[in-house]
Chains A and B, each alone.
Chain A
Amino acid sequence: MIYLNAFLFAGVVCLIGQIILDNTKLTPGHITSMFVVIGSFLDIFDIYDQFVLWAGGGALVPITSFGHLLIHGAMDTVNNFGVMGLFMGMFDLTSAGIVAAIIFSFLLSLVFRPKD
């Protein structure tokens, strides 16, 4: 059942992105930034956590989860250190994705040459 939810949630998020891409002049860069902002906005009222509970991996795969994880990591340290925690824990949960992207792109770009 959770597979169906994951399919529906991730599909609908991508569909919204595609509709925006087709009907406006925004580039994919605009759309991904917009979705990150939307993801962190939805976390104000813990709405995105409900999505994660409902759709599992389907809610973690789209880029909206990046914004959600940023604010989530920040709020965890805020509980311990007060308002300074906003600066400390922002990348706690997203570091895996960013570090993986940096390491893999660096190493692979040493090996591969661009096609064309």
Chain B
Amino acid sequence: MDKSKYKMLVNKYTPKENRLYNGLIAFVVGGFMGMLGQFLITFYSSYFDIPTKEASVFMIITLVFLGCFLTCLGFFDKLVSFARCGLIIPITGFAHSMMSAALEYRREGLVTGLGANMFKLAGTVIIFGVVSAYIFGFIRVFVMRG
């Protein structure tokens, strides 16, 4: 059997992921996360009688708590493998990555395990965010004068 024939056979039997279906699920779940965020902002700003800016901070804290708590209960992983980017791109994905790192390394001790590894997955977001914000802020200060 030559190489191209073998490649064709392999392609035939590798399970195909339905990209359209994945995209649709991510769109719907992500959209509902956005709606939940907007609902929480409206709810907090009317219930506690605070401006929208503070209400959005409350909303972020609530979503982070939800992401952490559902990860602890064990079924957020299943939800993530179902909705993929629908739950990874929202702030819940950030909470999920930190929580699962914390749970995983907890048994190696408080300092060497939990403390040293909590930011293992979530650290990239903070590092790249800070570096890019610094560079773009520099551009805004010196090139565009504010």
- Residue numbers of A with Cβ under 8 A of B are 2-3, 6-15, 17-19, 21-23, 28-29, 31-33, 35-37, 40-41, 43-44, 55-63, 65-67, 70-71, 74-75, 78-79, 83, 86, 90, 93, 96-98, 100-102, 104-106, 108-115
Contacts and interface: CB of A to CB of B under 8 A. Distances in A.
Contact of B98 (A59, A79, A102, A115): A102
Given A75-B137, A109-B102, 5 more contacts: A3-B38, A11-B30, A17-B26, A78-B141, A105-B118
Nearest to A79: B146
Given A41-B132, A62-B30, A66-B129, A35 B89 contact: yes
Interface string B53-84: 00011011101110011001110000000001
Contacts, number: 247
Given A62-B90, A101-B68, A13 B30 contact: yes
A62 B132 CA distance: 17
B89 A62 contact: yes
Contacts of B130: 70, 90
B5 interface: no
For the complex, would chain B's binding face be called helix, strand, loop or mixed by DSSP majority?
helix
Contacts of A40: 129, 132-133, 136
B23 A22 contact: yes
Contact of A61 (B34, B102, B133): B34
Interface residues of B, number: 73
For the complex, would chain A's binding face be called helix, strand, loop or mixed by DSSP majority?
helix
Interface of B: 17, 19, 22-23, 25-41, 56-57, 59-61, 63-65, 68-69, 72-74, 84-86, 88-91, 93-95, 98-99, 101-104, 106, 114, 118, 121-122, 124-126, 128-130, 132-134, 136-142, 144, 146
B2 to A, nearest CB: 27
Contacts of B37: 6, 10, 56-58, 60-61
Contact of A14 (B19, B27, B125): B27
B61 A71 contact: no
A75 B136 CA distance: 10
17 contacts: A8-B31, A10-B31, A14-B30, A14-B33, A18-B27, A36-B129, A56-B38, A58-B31, A60-B41, A62-B34, A66-B129, A67-B129, A70-B133, A71-B137, A83-B141, A86-B141, A109-B72
